[in-house]
Homo-oligomer: A and B are copies of this chain.
Amino acid sequence: MGRATGPADPLTIGELSAATRVSIETIRYYEREGLLPKPSRSVGGRRQYGQADALKLRFLRRCRELGFSLLDARMLASLADRETVTCAEVKAVVTRHRLDINAKLRDLRRLERALASIETSCPGSDDPRCPILETLSKS
| A interface, CB within 8 angstroms of B | 55, 58-59, 62-63, 66-67, 76, 79-80, 83-88, 90-91, 94-95, 97-98, 101-102, 104-105, 108-109, 111-112, 114-116, 118-119, 122-133, 135-137, 139
Contact = CB atoms under 8 A, between A and B. Distances in A.
Copies in the complex: 2
A136 B126 CA distance: 53
B137 A80 contact: yes
A116 to B, nearest CB: 6
B101 A115 contact: yes
B95 A119 contact: yes
B91 A132 contact: yes
Nearest to A58: B139
